[in-house]
Amino acid sequence: MNLEVLPLITTDGFGFYERVVGRVFGTACVCGQVIKTRKHDRVVRLERRAVIGAGRLNEALGDSEDSVKLNT
């Protein structure tokens, strides 16, 4: 494990997560949300946004083992 890599936390759009992640990690992480809008059980809109550490999002995604896009 590399402790110098910025933790990347992703959640859905539930607002409570941003407050909790901010309280636990402060600015020592990057937190992003993936918000899906559904209509008739299909995703019709997908929004990805950084809510903590937006300026470091690309760096955190580059260090990610999983993806270069925010996913939940």
pTM for the predicted model, two decimal places:
0.84
Under the banding of pLDDT at 50, 70 and 90, the label for residue 63 is confident
- 32 vs 9, 54, 62, CA distance in Å? 6, 8, 14
Q: Which residues contact 21 (CB under 8 A, 6 or more apart)?
A: 9, 11, 29, 31, 52
The ranges assigned to domains in the chain are 1-31+54-64
In total, the chain counts a number of residues equal to: 72
pLDDT in tens, 19-43: 999 999 999 999 999 999 999 999 9
**And the tokens for 12?**
């859905």
**And the tokens for 8?**
């990347």
